[in-house]
Amino acid sequence: MADRILVLDAGTTSTRAMIFAPDGTMEAVEQAEITQYYPQPGWVEHDAAEIWDKTLTCARQVVGEAPGRIAAIGITNQRETVVAWNRTSGAPLARAIVWQDRRTAAFCADMKSYGHEESVQQRTGLLLDPYFSGTKMRWLLDHDEAVRAASERGDLAFGTVESWLVYKLSGGAHVSDASNASRTLLLSLDGAQFDEELCELFGVPRAALPEVVDTHGAIATAQSQCLGAEIPICGLAGDQQAATIGQGCLAFGETKATYGTGAFVLTNKGQDIPRSDNRLLGTVLYQEGGQRTYAIEGACFVAGSLVQYLRDQLGLIGSAAETEELARSIESSGEVVIVPALAGLGAPHWQPEARGVISGLSFASGRAQIARAALEAMAHQTHDLASAFAADGAPWSTLRIDGGMSANDWMAQDLADILDIAVERPDFVETTALGAAILAAVGAGVHPTLGAAADAMRRKGRCFTPDMSEDVREARLARYARALAAA
């Protein structure tokens, strides 16, 4: 019987393929790094053809000679990243513009000056920021001749990364799930499909956009030439929504934080469209049979990418794992504070022009102090989000964490100390992939409901409880506030 789920996890720095059993056990994984292109300060690009080629290679490696055991495919992806391709040839027309890219900051500022932000936020749950997909699409139309020509011919296809992968796997299905579509600035949270008025406002042709579909169900079918057999694609979700599902946050008020390339916190808000007075975001968590469950979200643009920066750009560490050892080797960061605004500041500040700051340096500051300050920055950013969530009437009683950085015990304890709440971490921290597996398992009928699938596939882990005095906590937060002002 085919009961295994193939998950394709197309992340920002790498793409992976994994096989999950019905009980949530990951039986195989293959991973390949994605080349990062930085053509100008604040610009971040990917090669969409490379994403497809490496994803397919990883998938073939884990599927092997037994495609008949795969019940369904689930896909999760870096959100907001925009791919433009020719819908006839299937070839990319330009490099993909990555979610971290800030090139449309001036366009967003102009839109704000024209008074559009309030109405856009009311309809989409999002703010006018370069982070989101719609302004990236507009930039490509304005600045890339191949994209503009394809639009004029009527064979332009725009999509986020899951849309691109489904198109390539299926040989032409042009769809986007509701969770990813809700990150574009082009979908009204109560609208079934992309909104004509929003498309007109941003100057994006509605005809180039995909059909909006459920996050799980019979979505499309991968062609046999891809993996050796026709396999249904039954689950799609943006990475943060997938992680929320993988953490089992299926009840109103349950909250998770993912620490990957960036840091993202989502709270389940049920069927009520979320509204924020504190510059948080409303987003679709999942959609089943056209019925949406929503979340309120706070996003920090830099988390694990800060550690990668310390390793690759500054040469201060040899590996990410080294940060925990360095943090434990000293009593404190020696008043060194890092504001990781290397790609601007996300929620709740939304200042794309902000830049990173390392403050409090002295002759006593070394690798250990800077590495520890980098980890402390995760708790400081999360505390900013916690304050905004509480002001919006969604305080956290506990926080479920995941993502690659959450494996760092020192950081997990520091989160509990600074937030002053219990922090729970599952044994299997790759909950983004697990969430995609849960969605696909339900979509394929391996499990009957999301709740049943989460109960069967999710594993609880360790709980970190606060162990920091109030005066130490307040001193830390005060130092961060001063550094934040400088950013």
For residue 279, what pLDDT band results from cuts at 50, 70 and 90?
confident
List, as one string, the DSSP characters of 291-351. Answer: EEEEEEEEEES-SHHHHHHHHHTS---SSTTHHHHHHHTSSS-TT-EEE--BTBB-TTT-B
Please report the pLDDT score of residue 403 as a whole number.
Answer: 84
Please report the pLDDT score of residue 288 as a whole number.
Answer: 95
Please give the structure tokens belonging to residue 456: 């069967």
Please give the structure tokens belonging to residue 388: 């905004």
CA dist., res. 94 & res. 167, Å (int): 16
Please report the pLDDT score of residue 487 as a whole number.
Answer: 78
Query: Quick one: average pLDDT of 215-243?
Result: 96
Please report the pLDDT score of residue 351 as a whole number.
Answer: 86
262 has pLDDT over 90: no
Q: Which amino acid is at 163?
A: S
**295-305 residue pLDDT tens:** 999 988 899 99
**418-443 residue pLDDT tens:** 999 999 999 887 899 999 999 999 99
CA dist., res. 319 & res. 177, Å (int): 35
Mean pLDDT of the chain: 94
Q: Which amino acid is at 269?
A: K
For residue 345, what pLDDT band results from cuts at 50, 70 and 90?
confident
Please report the pLDDT score of residue 120 as a whole number.
Answer: 95
Q: Report which of residues 392 and 31 the model is more confident about.
A: 31
244 has pLDDT over 80: yes
Please report the pLDDT score of residue 336 as a whole number.
Answer: 95
**168-199 residue pLDDT tens:** 999 999 999 999 999 999 999 999 999 999 99
Please report the pLDDT score of residue 184 as a whole number.
Answer: 97
**310-335 residue pLDDT tens:** 999 999 999 888 999 999 999 999 99
Q: What pTM was estimated for this model as a whole?
A: 0.87
The CATH fold of domain 4-239: Nucleotidyltransferase; domain 5 (3.30.420)
**96-128 residue pLDDT tens:** 999 989 999 999 999 999 999 999 999 999 999
**12-23 residue pLDDT tens:** 989 999 999 999
